[in-house]
Amino acid sequence: MGTEQTTTFPQEVLDRWAGLGLDLPALFSAGHLGSRMGVQVLEAGPERVVGTMPVEGNTQPYGLLHGGASAVLTETLGSVGAMLHGGPSKLAVGVDLNCTHHRGVRAGLVTGVATPVHRGRSTATYEVVISDEAGKRVCTARLTCMLRDAPADAYRG
């Protein structure tokens, strides 16, 4: 599935989360499911989150990228953006997800780019555009997260 990438964070994110003793790339990662699917978060900030996922291993019976795999990539990127928007005092919980699949992909790597549609106090909505290696749009998705108050120990393993 390629080499492991390091997530790049803007300085304002590093400053906001500093002093909490957290491993930001681990916290703002794809988690266990995303790891099994080969999802890698490359860039993460409240204004833009970028990640990749291999098509291989994430296909449906006809050999095309599975729509659920696109949903996992969307949930990952949109949730990371919402969490970074909410900051250390909030947890992002997905409450609505929709995906429109435009074309099939059989091989290679897809890239998702999440950008905010709405960033409020209690909700955040991100549009995620997933493209193939030729830059052709594969899927357009939208995720809305509710921003809940984080318990005091929310970020302690």
Instruction: Using CA atoms of 81, 83, 85, 89 in order, give the dihedral in degrees to the nearest 10.
Output: -170
> Active-site residue 43, yes or no?
no
DSSP secondary structure of 73-104: HHHHHHHHHHHHHH-TTEEEEEEEEEEEE-S-
For 120, residues 6+ apart whose C-beta sits below 8 A from its C-beta are 147
End-to-end CA distance of the chain: 27
Of 91, 88, 84, 79, the closest CA to residue 31 belongs to: 79
Region of 21 (left: φ > 0; alpha: ψ -120 to 50; beta: rest) is left
Marked catalytic residue, from 12, 43, 56, 75: 75
Residue positions annotated with a catalytic role: 75
